[in-house]
A and B are shown apart, each in its own frame.
Chain A
Amino acid sequence: MNKQEIIQAVNQALMQGFEIPTHKLLPQANLFADLGLDSLDAVDMVVLLEDRFQMKVDGERVQSVRTLQDVYDLVGEVASRRS
């Protein structure tokens, strides 16, 4: 899966799971301040991404995620390790 595919898939998961409009899905967007997610959403976001990409994300690594770019990077890391 290349970077563009990851971005598309993550964006789609966030749109469907959290009703975030497309125009807000910018790499620099802060998940909490800009996209309106909270701690409960963060937990479910990880579940949705794990389900979408059939992967297991390290709980501690997730704690450092702040922006959408961080999410793309996190998924990319796990995907590249797996391949």
Chain B
Amino acid sequence: MNVFITGTGLMTCLGNNVKTVFQRVLKNESGIQFMEPWSHLKGQNCLLGGPVLSYDVSFLDRTVRRSMSRMSELASLASLSAVNQAKLEIHSLTPGRAILCLGSTTGSPETLEAFHKKYFSKGGPEGQLSVSFLKSMNHSVASNVALALSFSGALLAPCSACTTSSQAMILGWELLQTGLYDVVIAGGADELHPNSAAVFDIVFAASTHFNDQPQKSPRPFDVHRDGLVVSEGAGVVIMETEAHMRRRNAEPLAQIKGGSYLVDGQHMTQPQQTMMEQTMRSALFRANVDAKDINYVNAHATGTKLGDTTEARATYSVFNSKTPVSSLKGHLGHSLAACGAIEAILAIEMMKNNVLICTRNLDQIDPDCIQLRHLQHHENEQVKIVMSNNFAFGGISTSLILSNV
């Protein structure tokens, strides 16, 4: 069954709509900045982050907003943009044949911090607001987006940290293949919090040497890379079957050819090359596409020593040195649960604009990553089919294949 994307929406540190973000990425801008408040936290070594600068959700009713953390607000705005672009009438969807499939890494860390701070200062749960739980439960983003869209239907909240939204999209593709659904609203969101950076710093995977030069980090595949930089955002796509799209005369933006998500079952944090390869090959098989037909690979490449090298080797084993590869983390940082959908959306823009965006901050390719055809400058090329890869703690790999229409 053919599956198309008819709407996209995103919120990122480089802007709050697809057009702006793509223009800024084209200008090779970075959304990374020094996070001054973090410098006062004991043991906080990574002081860089990519915050969404400003947005407004005041148009939403208070009873819709009250249970929203920052990540739910970001997800709601991205979802509304995607629905608007797709011209999807939420109320006209057949009950039970549409599914909302959105996740985040955890419940809101900002809310959890406030909850626990109060809990320990009061010596118990006295004085906690009821909405605290609604902001910190694991399916908070999905449920809040349902409220924002007035969506009634099926709901899933997939959760796999940095592969959350890519997995949501692939899961959506699978669900549409069953014939049980017509439409999937898929994506993910995460909010910036010092703990997110600290989680990576604890395992020496966060950037710590560029605190005085924020925009020089992260540096995917670069010999001087020293770790990732956490950002925040949301990415949401409207996916629908060809029949449903045609019935309502909607315009396709891209086709989802297929995808795959696999866990290695070997290690929680050390990426396994064989599983990355297997995921890419599985996605190609499911999409019925040959590796030689992929015109561009959007790498996960966050700028960590081990992750980038392992990914480069896995990607080389599938594509050799012919296929152009780049990562968008140098522009946007690592928005965790949101990054997969955001990168897929920007890969669609690359196809539409016949331009491949280079890896920002890739000044000197690491000899351990040298095998690939790295994009150090944008290239104007006709791009028909792309693969977008993401990897997460927990040993999860996702590989998504999109084609231009």
Interface check B128, CB cutoff 8 A: yes
Interface check B127, CB cutoff 8 A: yes
Cα–Cα distance between A77 and B62 once the two chains are bound (Å): 30
Minimal Cβ-Cβ distance residue in B for A43:
B130
Interface check A33, CB cutoff 8 A: no
Cα–Cα distance between A51 and B121 once the two chains are bound (Å): 14
How many A-B residue contacts, CB cutoff 8 Å?
21
Tell me the smallest distance from the CB of B393 to a CB of chain A, in Å. 34
Tell me the smallest distance from the CB of B174 to a CB of chain A, in Å. 35
Interface residues of A in 29-66 (CB under 8 A from B): 36, 38, 40-41, 43-44, 47-48, 50-51
Interface residues of B in 53-77 (CB under 8 A from A): 62-63, 66
Total residues of chain B contacting the partner, CB 8 A: 8
Contact A44 B131 (CB under 8 A): yes
Cα–Cα distance between A48 and B66 once the two chains are bound (Å): 14
Contact B62 A40 (CB under 8 A): no
Total residues of chain A contacting the partner, CB 8 A: 12
Interface check B129, CB cutoff 8 A: yes
Chain B residues in 8 Å Cβ range of A36: 62-63
Cα–Cα distance between A52 and B69 once the two chains are bound (Å): 23
Tell me the smallest distance from the CB of A2 to a CB of chain B, in Å. 25
Tell me the smallest distance from the CB of A70 to a CB of chain B, in Å. 20
Contact B62 A47 (CB under 8 A): no
Chain B residues in 8 Å Cβ range of A5: none
Chain B residues in 8 Å Cβ range of A51: 127
Chain A residues in 8 Å Cβ range of B128: 47
Chain B residues in 8 Å Cβ range of A43: 130
Contact with A along B250-262 (1 / 0, CB 8 A): 0000000000000
Tell me the smallest distance from the CB of B377 to a CB of chain A, in Å. 50
Contact B127 A50 (CB under 8 A): yes
Tell me the smallest distance from the CB of B144 to a CB of chain A, in Å. 14
Chain A residues in 8 Å Cβ range of B127: 47, 50-51
Interface residues of B in 125-148 (CB under 8 A from A): 127-131
Tell me the smallest distance from the CB of A38 to a CB of chain B, in Å. 7
Tell me the smallest distance from the CB of B135 to a CB of chain A, in Å. 12
User: Which of A18, A19, A44, A50 is the one whose CB lies under 8 Å from B130?
Assistant: A44
Contact B129 A47 (CB under 8 A): yes
Cα–Cα distance between A48 and B311 once the two chains are bound (Å): 51
Chain A residues in 8 Å Cβ range of B129: 44, 47-48
Known: A40-B131, A47-B128. Is A19-B63 also a contact (CB below 8 A)? Answer: no
Minimal Cβ-Cβ distance residue in B for A37:
B63
Cα–Cα distance between A44 and B63 once the two chains are bound (Å): 13
Tell me the smallest distance from the CB of A45 to a CB of chain B, in Å. 10
Contact B131 A19 (CB under 8 A): no
Chain A residues in 8 Å Cβ range of B66: 40-41
Contact with A along B112-134 (1 / 0, CB 8 A): 00000000000000011111000
Cα–Cα distance between A41 and B65 once the two chains are bound (Å): 12
Cα–Cα distance between A40 and B129 once the two chains are bound (Å): 9
Minimal Cβ-Cβ distance residue in B for A18:
B62
Cα–Cα distance between A27 and B128 once the two chains are bound (Å): 27
Minimal Cβ-Cβ distance residue in A for B128:
A47
Tell me the smallest distance from the CB of B13 to a CB of chain A, in Å. 29
21 A-B residue pairs with Cβ-Cβ distance under 8 Å, sorted by A, are A18-B62, A19-B62, A36-B62, A36-B63, A38-B63, A40-B66, A40-B130, A40-B131, A41-B63, A41-B66, A43-B130, A44-B129, A44-B130, A44-B131, A47-B127, A47-B128, A47-B129, A47-B130, A48-B129, A50-B127, A51-B127
Q: Which residues does A use to contact B, with CB under 8 Å?
A: 18-19, 36, 38, 40-41, 43-44, 47-48, 50-51
Q: Which 6 A-B pairs have the closest CB atoms?
A: A43-B130, A44-B129, A19-B62, A44-B130, A40-B130, A47-B129
Further 6 A-B residue pairs, CB within 8 A, beyond A40-B131, A47-B129, A47-B130: A18-B62, A38-B63, A41-B63, A44-B130, A44-B131, A48-B129
